[in-house]
Amino acid sequence: MNMDNLKIILRENKKYGKSLFAKKAINKGEIIAVFDGQVYEANKCSDLPNEAPLKVRDHAIQFEKHKWRDSNGLARFISHSCEPNCGIKESFKIVAIKDIPNGEELTYDYDMTENSDWKLICKCDSANCRKLIRGYRFLPSEFKKKYRGFISKWLIE
């Protein structure tokens, strides 16, 4: 079963390649897409397979200390932003944290789920961009406060 919101579409962005966009206005609280695919176990993120075309390491999200999950649908293509319009509910659901207009790129903050040895040089250009994204344990407390209710369950238990 495909769990993707019908208002999302996969398009190229200038920074990372394929990314998700709204093709109709999306309301705050709507589920965007779900990580509903294969589960991978690894000691750390860098041990995950990353061969093309799947590139699991770049697309799966972490949901336990040693577990990651990919998606069957479009969830795996959501980009990172330090000023995201989406967040995580429970472990696997991407939800809109604000009203999102038609045409806007969909993003969540990867530190809402990741806390291993994975790193990203961020190019989101938001005013409060953290530049180097390297896991929840490095997320400043003002972000943790702002993201309350949208951080993966395993990081706050």
For Zn ion, the binding residues (CB under 5 A) are 82, 122, 124, 129
- Cβ distance to Zn ion smaller for residue 92 or 108: 108
The CA distance from 86 to 94, in Å, is: 6
Which residues share a beta bridge with 87?
A: 95
Residue 81 Cβ, how far from Zn ion at the closest point, in Å? 6
CB of 126 to Zn ion, least distance (A): 6
Minimum CB distance to Zn ion, residue 80 (Å): 7
With respect to Zn ion, which residue has the nearer C-beta, 48 or 82? 82
- Residue 68 or 110 with smaller CB distance to Zn ion: 110
Burial 43-58 (b: 16+ CB within 10 A, else e): eebeebeeeeeeebbe
- Structural tokens at position 153: 């369950």
> Residue 95 or 124: which CB sits closer to Zn ion?
124
- Closest approach, Cβ 124 to Zn ion, in A, equals 3
